Amino acid sequence: MLELTINDRVVQVPDGLNVLQAAKHVGVEIPHFCYHPGLSVAGSCRMCQVEIEQGGRKRIDLSCSNAAVDGMIVRTNTPAVVKAVKGVLEFLLMNHPIDCPICDDAGECKLQNYYMLHGLYDSRLNVEKWHKPKVHPVGPTVVLDCERCVLCSRCVRFCDEIWGERQLGIFGHGSNEKLINYPGRELDNPYSGNVVDLCPVGALLDKDFRFQRRVWYLKSVKSICPLCSRGCNIYLHYDVDHDYQRPGRRIQRIKPRVNPDVNRWWICDRGRYGYSFIDAATRTKTPRLLGKDADWNYALQKAAELITTTQKQHGPGSISALIAPTASNEDAFMALRLFRERLNIPQISSDIPSSEKLTADQLLLTDDPYSNRRGFQDLGLGPADGGMNAEEIINAVKAGQIKGLIVVGTDLESLVGKQVESITGKLDWLIVGASQENQLWNRATVGLPLAVYAEYPGTFTNVKGMVQKFEKAVEPLGQALPQWQVWHKLAGHLGADWRFDDARAVFKALSAGKPDYESLNWHATFGVDKGCYPDNW
C-alpha cells in the first residue's frame, strides 16, 4: 500500500498502479481515451492530464503514464487542469461529426460523457470539418465510422498486443490520419468484437447490435459464457420492454466482464455473438408426450411410470442416462441424486462426443465446447465415473440391453448420426430433456423443455476448476424449467420428498465438503445492473 493525496484527500492505494488507476481506486474518475489497463500505455490522447506535485514541484502531466508514488499530491480539478482537459475535448470535437442521435454508442460514449462533464456548449469552431469514410465494413462483425474515431489507437493495440496480429492501422499523418483496415484484409480475428468494447466512441460498432436498442434501455446481469470450458465472465444485456426491433429477442448483446484470473477484459467472438439460441424460434416451450403437448404434471407422471415399470420388469440396469456437461452444477447434482442415488441407475454418462470440433487458440478459447465438464467431474459424473461411456451405452441400446433411455442436452448426432431409429427402434421409451427442438424431440416418449443458462441462476466450474456463478436475466421461455427443477419434480413423482427451494439451496448441498465450491459467496455476485456495463474503462 502507498499513501497519496488526491484532491486534498489522503488515500491509500495498492502498489503498482498508475495515477489514473489510483484515482479510480478511490472513486475519482479521470477522463481518458487511450489508456486501457489491458493494453500498453500510449499516452497520446492527452485527456488524462492532472496536476502532480512531487518534492514541492508541481507539473501538469499524464495520469496514465505516471506511476502513483508514495507522498504524491494529485489534483484533478485545478483551473489549469480543467482548462487543459477542456482544450483536448474541444480539439477532439473539432473534426467529430457529432451524429449522436443515430450512434449506437450514445450513452456509453466517453466523448459524449466528457462533453456533458465539461459543457462546451458554445462551439468555437470556425473552420470546415474533415470528411472520412463512414459505415465502412471493417470486418465480418464490426462496422467502422472513421469520422467518429478519436485515434486513441486502442483497437490497433488490441490487435497487435492481445490477439497478436496487425489488422488495423492508423494511416496518414497529422489531422488527416485515418484508422482503418488494409484494403482486402479484414478485421477478422476471432476476438474482433473486443475492439467495439475498447473503442471509447462510436467508431467501431457491432454489426450485431447496430440500431437494435438505445443502450440506456438495457438491463444487465452477470453471467458466464457457456460456449467453451474457459468460462469467460460476461454480462448479459437484455431488454424485454422495447420490442421495436427483432421482435421476440430478449437478449440484446453480450459484453465481457473483467476477471483477471479468467478472461481479463476480453471474450471471443464465438461467445459474444453466439447467444441467438437463447431466443431462437426452435426453443422447446411445452412438455411433450408422444409427440403432443402436455402439461408438466402429466408428462412427469408418465415419465415416473415408465421408469418404475421398466426398472421393475428389467432391473435398474435396463435404464441409462446421457447428460451433456453443458448443464450447471446444480442440474448435474440433482440428476445424480435422482438417477444414481435414488434410482440406482448404474450407467450414467456425460462423456458425449461433441458434434462441434473446437481448436484452442492462444488467448481464451479452449478445445472443449462443454462449459461444465469440470463441474460434472467434480460431482462424480466425469468420464471415468460411470463405467460405460456414451458410445458403449449406445451400443448397449442397439444390443437391446437397455430399454429406457434418458437423453439431456444432446441430439446424439455425434453418436448415431441422423439414424435416430437405430436406437429408438430398440427402446421401450426415450425421455428427452432439451432446450432446443432437435432430432430426438419429436420422437421422444416424454419431452421435457429446459430453460437455458440466461433463464436461471447457477454455477459452472471452468477448465481450471474455478467455480463461477451466473445469474438469471430473463424468465424461462414458455413452460421451460431449469433442469434441476425438472429432476426435483420428477423425484417427487417417484415418491421422494426433497425440499430444495432454490438454486442456492442446491448449490449449498452440492458444495458441502468441497472447499473450492464452499468458498463461493452466492450473494456476492447477485443483482441486476441497469444500462451500460460498468467495466467500460
Q: Which does 203 bind (CB under 5 to 8 A by kind): ligand FES, other proteins, ligand SF4, none?
A: ligand SF4
SS3 of residue 468 by DSSP: strand
Quick one: 187 or 432, whose CB is closer to other proteins? 187
47 binds other proteins (CB under 8 A): yes
CA-based R_g, the chain, Å: 27
Q: Which of residues 241-280 bind ligand FES (CB under 6 A)?
A: none
Alpha carbon 269 to its chain centroid, in Å, reads 10
- Which residue has cell 463512414? 134
CB 469 within 8 A of CB 440: no
CB environment 423-433: b (16+ within 10 A), e (fewer): bbebbbbbbbb
**For residues 536 and 38, what is the distance between their CA atoms, to the nearest angstrom?**
12
Query: Strand ranges (DSSP E) for 55-192?
Result: 57-62, 73-75, 142-144, 169-171, 178-180
> Beta 219-224 vs 233-238: how paired, if at all?
antiparallel
- Which residue has cell 442416462? 321
Quick one: 169 or 383, whose CB is closer to ligand SF4? 169
57 binds other proteins (CB under 8 A): no
43 binds ligand FES (CB under 6 A): yes
Nearest to 189 by CA among 146, 139, 226, 225: 139
Nearest to 85 by CA among 56, 114, 107, 106: 114
CB 172 within 8 A of CB 133: no
Q: Binding string to ligand SF4 for residues 477 to 516, with x set by CB under 6 A, is what?
A: ----------------------------------------
Quick one: 10 or 67, whose CB is closer to other proteins? 67
What are the Cα distances from residue 515, in Å, to 3, 12, 430? Answer: 36, 32, 37
> Beta 288-289 vs 292-293: how paired, if at all?
antiparallel
Strands of 404-408's sheet in order across: 292-293, 288-289, 446-449, 429-434, 404-408, 319-323, 347-349
Stretch that binds other proteins, among 107-115, 172-180, 489-497, 511-519 (CB under 8 A): 172-180
Q: Which does 48 bind (CB under 5 to 8 A by kind): ligand FES, other proteins, ligand SF4, none?
A: ligand FES
Which grid coordinates are listed for 486? 425438472
36 binds ligand SF4 (CB under 6 A): no
Quick one: 91 or 522, whose CB is closer to ligand FES? 91
323 binds other proteins (CB under 8 A): no
48 binds ligand FES (CB under 6 A): yes
Q: Which does 515 bind (CB under 5 to 8 A by kind): ligand FES, other proteins, ligand SF4, none?
A: none
Q: How far is the CB of 176 from other proteins (least distance, A)?
A: 8
90 binds other proteins (CB under 8 A): yes
114 binds ligand FES (CB under 6 A): no
Q: Which does 183 bind (CB under 5 to 8 A by kind): ligand FES, other proteins, ligand SF4, none?
A: other proteins
154 binds ligand SF4 (CB under 6 A): yes
Q: How far is the CB of 41 from ligand FES (least distance, A)?
A: 7
CB 138 within 8 A of CB 204: yes
Quick one: 77 or 419, whose CB is closer to other proteins? 77
**For residues 346 and 334, what is the distance between their CA atoms, to the nearest angstrom?**
16
177 binds other proteins (CB under 8 A): yes
Residue type, 373: R
46 binds ligand FES (CB under 6 A): yes
365 binds ligand SF4 (CB under 6 A): no
Q: Which does 35 bind (CB under 5 to 8 A by kind): other proteins, ligand SF4, ligand FES, none?
A: ligand FES
62 binds ligand FES (CB under 6 A): yes
Q: Binding string to ligand SF4 for residues 157 to 186, with x set by CB under 6 A, is what?
A: ----------------------x-------
SS3 of residue 501 by DSSP: coil
Complete DSSP assignment for 137-171: --SSSEEE-TTT-----HHHHIIIIII-S---EEE
Q: How far is the CB of 61 from ligand FES (least distance, A)?
A: 10
Q: Which of residues 106-165 bind other proteins (CB under 8 A)?
A: 124, 126-128, 150-151, 165
Q: Applying CB under 6 A, which of residues 13, 23, 28, 32 lies at the interface with ligand FES?
A: 32
Q: Applying CB under 8 A, which of residues 117, 170, 496, 505 lies at the interface with other proteins?
A: 170
Which grid coordinates are listed for 62? 499524464
DSSP code for 475: P
> Beta 404-408 vs 233-238: how paired, if at all?
unpaired
Quick one: 62 or 227, whose CB is closer to other proteins? 62
DSSP code for 217: G
Quick one: 67 or 528, whose CB is closer to other proteins? 67
Q: Binding string to ligand SF4 for residues 201 to 230, with x set by CB under 6 A, is what?
A: x-xx--------------------------
Query: Which residues of the shown chain bind ligand FES in the complex (CB under 6 A)?
Result: 32-35, 43-48, 62, 64
Query: Which residues of the shown chain bind ligand SF4 in the complex (CB under 6 A)?
Result: 149-155, 179, 198-201, 203-204
